[in-house]
Every structure is written in C-alpha cells, then in structure tokens.
Amino acid sequence: VCSGSTIGVCYGRNADDLPTPDKVAQLVQLHKIKYIRVYDSNIQVIKAFANTGVELMIGISNLDLLPFSQFQSNADTWLKNSILPYYPATKITYVTVGAEVTEIPDNVSALVVPAMQNVHTALRKAGLHRKIKVSSTHSLGILSRSFPPSAGAFNSSHAFFLRPLLEFLADNQSPFMVDIYPYYAYRDSSNNVSLDYALFESSSEVIDPNTGLLYTNMFDAQIDAIYFALMALHFRTIRVMVTETGWPSKGSAKETAATPDNAQTYNTNLIRHVINNTGTPAKPGEELDVYVFSLFNENRKPGLESERNWGLFYPDQTSVYSLDFTGRGAVDMTTGANITSSNGTWCIASSTASEADLKNALDWACGTGNVDCSAIQPSQPCFQPDSLLSHASYAFNSYYQQNGATDVACSFGGTGVRSNKNPSYDKCLYMTSGSNKTAASNVTANPSKSASSNMNVSMWLSSCLLLTFLSFF
C-alpha cells in the first residue's frame, strides 16, 4: 500500500493562451507528475487524463453550489454525465465542493455541506464513495487566530456550517483542505515576518510559548494552527491536506519578494520538506499531501501582477525557473541551481529506460523542446543505427547542450544520463557546449534550433514511502 506524503500541482486555466488539455496531459506525463488538481469538471480535461495514471482532484465551483445543494437529482445527473463515462480510465480521487467560500462576498457557506452530502450520496449510489472522497477547500482566513499555532481557532462566525462540515469529514474519512500561502503573510506583514522564515531558510526558531514547540518556517506554523483549531473542537482524526501553496515569480513594484529566486527557493525547500515525511512540530512524521500552485502562469487572473505569475511553466511549456525537485542535496540558489559548463560532457538516453518513456521524451525534445531532429531522419548522418535509444541520445544531447549543460537539462523524466565519453560515431558528431551545428565528417547537418527559452524544464516529484519520483527536466 502506497503510504507517505505526496506532491501534486494545481492546473488552473484562467488564461487564454494555454496549451490544449491533451498537450497538458502529455506534459504532465512526460514529467511523471502523479497528482493534479483542476477547479471544475471540464469533460475535455477529464478525457485528456484518461489512461495516464495521473490522479485528479476535480472541483464543483461556488456558482454551482445552489443547484447541487437543492436537489439530489442535480448531483446524480452531474455524476452520470461528467464522471461515470470517463471513470476509472481517468483516475478521480477527490471532489472539492466549493472553494474558499468564506472569502467571497455572497455568503454561500450554508450551501456547502448540503451540496457535499448530495455529491457523496450520488457517489455512494454508484459504489464510488470509498474511492472518491468529497471535501471543500478553505483559505487560512477561516481561522480567527493562527499565532501562536497552539492558539489556532476557527472564526466563530463560521460555526453554523463548520461543525457539520467537520462532522461530514470525520464520518467519511475525508481531509480538511486548506490553501496555505506564507507569501501573503510576508507581503502584508514584513515587519513581523522575516523573508527567511517564509522561505524555509530561517536559521533561528520561533517558540510556541504554550507548547514549547519550535518552528523554523511559517508553513509548518500555519498547518499546526489548523490542527490545533481542529483539536479545540474535538476533531482529532481529520487529517489536513494543502490544496494550494506556492510563491509568485513576478509582481508589481510593491511586491519586491515576488522573484524567480524566491519562488525557486520556496518550492524547492517545500518539496524537500514534504517528501522527507518530516511532518510538523505538532504532528511529526504525519503524512501531508500538498499541491503547488500552479502549473502555468494565468494571464486572465485579476489583481496585482503577482496573481498572473504563480506558474511553474509558461504557456509554451518551458519552465519559469529551474528547481531542484528531487528533495536530495542542497541547491546553490546564487549560481542558478547546479549550472556547469559542458566541458566534455554529453547527455545520452539510459539503456535501462522503458521504450514508452524514451518515446515520450524523444517526442518532447523534437517538439516542445525545439531540438532540430533532422539529423536522425532517414538518409541523414545520425539515422543509423535506427533505434529508439540512439535517436533519443542524439536529441537528448542537443537539448542538453542548448540549455546550459545542466543536470536538470539531462533529466528527461529519469531517462537521460550524463556521460564523459563522446557518443559521436562515423559521420554523426554530437553537439558540444557552445556549438550550434552537428557536423559529420565533411557533412554538416542543419543548424539546431535554439530553444524557445533558456529556462530549463524543471523536475517534479511525488513521494510514497518508496519515494516515487516525478522528474522534471
């Protein structure tokens, strides 16, 4: 049984320049991302993830709470039309009913639990209530107090819907879902919150005077505030799931902390913290599932500049910044994360990689990766030997050399390996650092296309106890 903390990514679509769902599903598969959160039940998105092995968290929007809460037949029809035709080919594991309802002007909180109950009943009729869990997401604003963590308490104005909601979660073994953003705490109160504390970089500790627990980062403190608030209401068995967290890479003039370096630091440290099953001071070793916001920058989101710049990827599927998503070892954030000169190193395809993984990686390199793969076409210098391993090695190396010859640029979902031995042969000469052509014994192949961005495609991972890695490159 798979056990342990996991990392997922939120797939928001509030933009007019994003790839089609099919292309997004390919991107997700390529990087071996295993958990995706979407905010609705769009059929094209659900169909795109069929037979990918990716587990989906889908949503019912706040606008749909009224019909879902009023009539059981509405939930039954939704399940019949939007879920059952695509399940289990598409692995749906959670349904979120409403999102941060306490933050919107129109008070729809009273509709949440009835809507959740109707969705759960529909799932039970279909025999899926144990496989697909129902919950609702909340902002940290649902608390009236969050510091010190042991004083965490829910806002009493939400008590009328909160207690039945918590009873529902406890009865059905569903998680309490919360969106955690240390970025906002720092941005809005930088005099009281240090940047290092928000970024998991603090060398000092904040002591909870009531418990003596020591906190080195705000993320843990905010999670524990939720746990203490739950315990104060005698709900000790409900686990917490973080359905959004992250850091923006760009902001307005006043948002000085919204930078690629800080986003890289926060997310790298977050991943390492989560996959190590560290838990929190109040819940050491406790499993914690976390979804990073967000897969893409979303150009239609309103508000400050930062709102449109939370993505790990640009819409063209290149990465916004390089990250160490392995959770292993330290990352030198001041030097661009493990960037080294090629200096006689090449990137080739691993002989132990599966044919399917190699094909996916080769297709990506010759497509989105903007590698010129003409040299591995029939009658060209690098076509022979006509094997997937040989062709992938050529394409991997071209991408690697074009993108700084970094460790990350040779990941290819775990199918790429670095080599000190020049893989060139016969008339096929592999690209080296600084070159823009592949020459071959008096034959010069077409110039390689430059990558559409020098940003390296990052790695992502989730973890069970056995640490199942989701590699970006």
Catalytically annotated residues = 100, 244
Could you give the CA distance from residue 9 to residue 28 in angstroms, rounded to a whole number?
Answer: 9
Element (H, E) at 75: helix 72-78
| Single-letter amino acid, residue 162 | L
Residue of 276, 272, 250 lying closest to 262 (CA atoms): 250
- Determine the residue type at 146: S
Distance CA 377, CA 374 (A): 5
Q: How many C-beta neighbours within 10 Å does residue 354 have?
A: 10
Helix (H) or strand (E) holding 36: strand 35-37
Cβ-based neighbour number of residue 125 at 10 Å? 14
User: Which 3 state secondary structure label does DSSP give 303?
Assistant: coil
Rg (CA), the chain: 24
What is the DSSP code (8-state) at residue 148? S
| b/e map 75-94, b = 16+ CB within 10 Å | bbebbeebbeebbeebbbeb
What b/e string do you get for 276-312 counting C-beta neighbours within 10 Å, with b at 16 or more?
A: ebbbbbbbeeebbbbbbbbbbbbeebeebebbbbbbb
